[in-house]
A and B are shown apart, each in its own frame.
Chain A
Amino acid sequence: DIQMTQSPSTLSASVGDRVTITCRASQSISSWLAWYQQKPGKAPKVLIYKASSLESGVPSRFSGSGSGTEFTLTISSLQPDDFATYHCQQYQSYWTFGQGTKVETK
Chain B
Amino acid sequence: EVQLVESGGGLVQPGGSLRLSCAASGFTFNTYSMNWVRQAPGKGLEWVSYISSTSSTIYYADSVKGRFTISRDNAKSSLYLHMNSLRAEDTAVYYCTRECCGDSSRSYYFDYWGQGTLVTVSS
Taking CB atoms, residues of chain A closer than 8 Å to B114 are 43
Taking CB atoms, residues of chain A closer than 8 Å to B110 are 34, 44, 46, 89, 95
B109 and A89: CB pair below 8 A?
yes
B108 and A44: CB pair below 8 A?
no
Taking CB atoms, residues of chain B closer than 8 Å to A24 are none
Taking the closest CB of chain B, its distance from the CB of A67, in whole angstroms, is: 16
Q: Which of A87, A92, A95 contacts B44 (CB 8 A)?
A: A87
Q: Complex formed: what's the CA distance from A45 to B4 in Å?
A: 13
Q: Known: A44-B45, A96-B47, A97-B47. Is A91-B111 also a contact (CB below 8 A)? A: no
Q: Known: A49-B100, A87-B45, A100-B44. Is A95-B107 also a contact (CB below 8 A)? A: yes
Taking CB atoms, residues of chain B closer than 8 Å to A36 are 45
Task: Assess whether A82 is interfacial by the CB under 8 Å rule.
Answer: no
Which chain B residue lies CB-closest to A85?
B44
The majority secondary structure among interface residues of chain A is loop
Q: How many A-B contacts if CB must be within 8 Å?
A: 52
The majority secondary structure among interface residues of chain B is strand
Q: Known: A49-B100, A91-B107. Is A97-B113 also a contact (CB below 8 A)? A: no
Question: For B45, B107, B110, B114, which residue has the most chain A Cβ atoms within 10 angstroms?
Answer: B45
Taking CB atoms, residues of chain B closer than 8 Å to A97 are 44-47
Task: Assess whether B95 is interfacial by the CB under 8 Å rule.
Answer: yes
Q: Complex formed: what's the CA distance from A100 to B45 in Å?
A: 8
Taking CB atoms, residues of chain A closer than 8 Å to B115 are 42-43
Task: Assess whether B27 is interfacial by the CB under 8 Å rule.
Answer: no
A46 and B109: CB pair below 8 A?
yes
Taking the closest CB of chain A, its distance from the CB of B11, in whole angstroms, is: 19
Taking CB atoms, residues of chain B closer than 8 Å to A49 are 100, 108-109, 111
Chain B proximity mask over A82-94: 1 for CB below 8 Å, otherwise 0? 0000010101111
A46 and B44: CB pair below 8 A?
no
Closest 4 CB pairs of A and B: A34-B109, A43-B113, A95-B47, A97-B45
